Structure 1
Amino acid sequence: MNLLGNLFHKESHQHKQAYDFGEVLGQGGFGVVSQAHDKETDRDVAIKKVPKKSIKNRDAYRRLITFMRDNMDHPNTINLISFFSSSTSYYLVFELASGGDLIDRLNSAGGHLSEDEARQAVTAILKATSYLHARNVLHRDIKLDNYLYRSKDAPAGEVILIDFGQAVLLPSHDVKLLEPCGSPTYIAPEIYNFRGYSFPADMWAIGVITFNVLSGRSLYTSANPQIIENETKQFTDVKFNDLFWHDVSGDAKDFIQRLLKPNPNERMTVDEALQHGWIRHEGVSQIAPKKASLALDAHVPIARAEKVETLRLNEGQKPNELLELDGSSSGDATPRHPQSGSATPVPQDAKAVRERDKGDKIMLPGNLYRKLSRVVGEEVES
């Protein structure tokens, strides 16, 4: 090992020695998060260890991390204190948020939030997203379990956005991305349809979250990624079952509908969403309580749903690869690979994922499963 290598490893070793590492808080495809104690400041922190081999474009990743450390300061985003690296890993030092995530909050609230609490949480989510989008940062993995609370008794509106492992710093709002990524339940139609995507994809995910926190239900009838993909591709409009939506205001439903538009050009931007009547709490329609319908709701309960690991649909493709549109920038343009100019194929490993998950079933009581299967058109084995 040369002199520079010795100095590099000595420096990273010294950084790690500054912390007492404790329990593992979480683990996923992009790293391990551990609680640690900063000996110098005498405070607890969370340290995410990210293997360098999992990062395809390391220069872009380092630029994003540096940008986060030096430029991001918002009450609704996680605070990146510092970072360092070794020969094999990046170490990101964050503030410690120990109040649980939004799924935990839903479970403790009985499955869903009150409309007022939901408005507070969604407003905080929008403010964090506005802060990012104004700085050309596209998060790409907005989901319930990527929002934490600093303490268990924190108000609903003090939620903070975490996990920037898939975030990208774009040169402008006109750029579209080609690489499909995200968590299946929150992936926008234009990503599944390989049309190219940008900031409206984050807004779709916020629409899904709003649906989740108000109803306690998933937007989809299954937790199977293949079924979710098919339903997203065929999505036309939001269905509100009275069983779970009878006491939710019309303005809240309108807010969701304006975000869950299949055409990304018709979706509200984050600034438009912040001005919506439901968020501003102006002229909110009053809903008279009525008896809920007993009709079967086919949507999966959020409280029972497992936290799904982020799905990278195309591991072989370079991350952050920009989409060059053939012709106009309309939603009908066909995405092309920048180098080849050929139409984008369906990733082979995506097919493998679909085949692997094809047989997955939701664990439900037998009679309810048979009813649910008829609703979604699946054949039930006797």
Structure 2
Amino acid sequence: MYVIANTLNYLHTNMVVHRDLKPSNILYADDSCAASSLRICDFGFAKQLRAENGLLMTPCYTANFVAPEVLKMQGYHAACDVWSLGVLMYTMLFGQTPFAVKPNESSEVVLSRIESGRLDLVNNNWNKISDSARDLLTNMLNPEPSKRCTASMILSHPWIKNRDQLSLKLLTNFLPQDINQTKNSVKATFRAVNSTTKIPILEPVECSTLAQRRVRAKSIVANQSKNEKEKNSPVNNSSLNKK
């Protein structure tokens, strides 16, 4: 958690939002499997904040890790990365995602629960984790982005600062049905991911709206320049003088 939070803090300090933080986008840089070798990858959805209000509008996400404000399409910023990291922390502590619980839940229900910010706080292990961990989780998964902690605040939180003193006791009260529930939760998550239509398809840069607009603008300028040259050419002036 420290390494990823520290990396996010570096990105956010440089006004870069990853926008698609999830387990498959966190890899080891070598075979040591040391925490220091963890890297965030796949910056295909990453964006640098440049708008006047500092907000992003394009909904780029993976369903079960997306923040509520992204789904509401009311503008969002670096806080969406903190939400995704909070979902990751919750999953690592409890062995299941906080929003896809029942195997028969539809993708719409999962996404609706994410948008509302309703957390599963009655998990069998919720009362077994430390107060410090619960405090950090609830701050990272606050549905209101303005009240959500920042990456910098995560680094200064006691649960992170005192990480070398954390209990090594495993949460081992999972029964067989709990394991099956976890598997079904993952299946529900993938259903939500696969049915999500808001994720843009990556295409060559020349296919983007901005690139096409630039091509049209260059074409207009070129035509105007051509018309001006023809208008001022000696041949045209000579013809006008004869008339």
Q: Which TM-score band applies after superposition, normalised by the shorter structure?
A: 0.5 to 0.7
Query: Which one is further off, 187-196 or 140-149?
Result: 187-196
* Structure 1 residue corresponding to 2:66, chosen from 174, 184, 187: 187
Q: CA deviation at 1:228?
A: 1.5
Q: Which residue of 1 aligns with 2:227?
A: none
Give the aligned partner of residue 134 of structure 2.
253
Q: Which runs of 5+ in 1 are unaligned?
A: 1-121, 322-382
Greater relative contact order: 1 or 2 (C-alpha under 8 angstroms, separation 6 or more)? 2
* Partner residue, 2:229: none
User: Is the radius of gyration larger for structure 1 or structure 2?
Assistant: 2
Task: Choose from 152, 160, 172 the match for 2:39.
Answer: 160
CA shift for structure 1 position 292: 4.7
1:137 maps to 16
The answer (yes or no) to whether the contact 2:96–2:186 under 8 Å persists in 1 is: no
Matched, 1:281 2:162: yes
2:152 equivalent to 1:235? no
- % identical aligned pairs: 24
Counterpart residue number, 2:198: 313
Counterpart of 2:27 in 1: which secondary structure? strand
Cα gap change, 1:260 to 1:175, in 2 (>3 Å): same
Partner of residue 89, structure 2: 210
Which whole-Å CA distance do the structure 1 matches of 2:57 and 2:120 have between them?
A: 27
Q: Show CA shifts across 1:213-245 (max 9, x none).
A: 112111121574322111112324451523x34
Contact 2:26–2:41, Cα closer than 8 Å, also in 1: yes
* Residue deviations 1:251-295 (CA, integer Å, cap 9, x gap): 11211111000100110011111100100017978799999597x
Partner of residue 196 from structure 1, selected from 75, 93, 101: 75
- Residue 84 of structure 2 aligns to a residue whose secondary structure is helix
Contact 1:186 1:204 in 2 (8 A): yes
Q: 1:319 to 1:191 in 2, by over 3 A?
A: farther
Q: TM-score, normalised by structure 2?
A: 0.67
Root-mean-square deviation (Å):
3.8
Match for 1:226 among 73, 91, 108? 108
Moved more, 272-281 or 170-179: 170-179
Q: Distance in 2 between matches of 1:247 and 1:319?
A: 49
Letter in 2 for 1:301: T
Conserved in 2, the CA contact under 8 Å of 1:238 and 1:257?
A: no
Structure 1 stretches of 4+ with a deviation exceeding 3 A read 244-247, 282-294, 296-300, 306-312, 318-321
Residue 182 of structure 2 is aligned to residue 301 of structure 1: yes
In the alignment of these two chains, the number of paired residues is: 198
The TM-score normalised by the length of structure 1 is 0.44
Distance (Å, rounded) in 2 between the aligned partners of 1:288 and 1:241: 18
Contact 1:274 1:280 in 2 (8 A): yes
Structure with higher strand content: 1
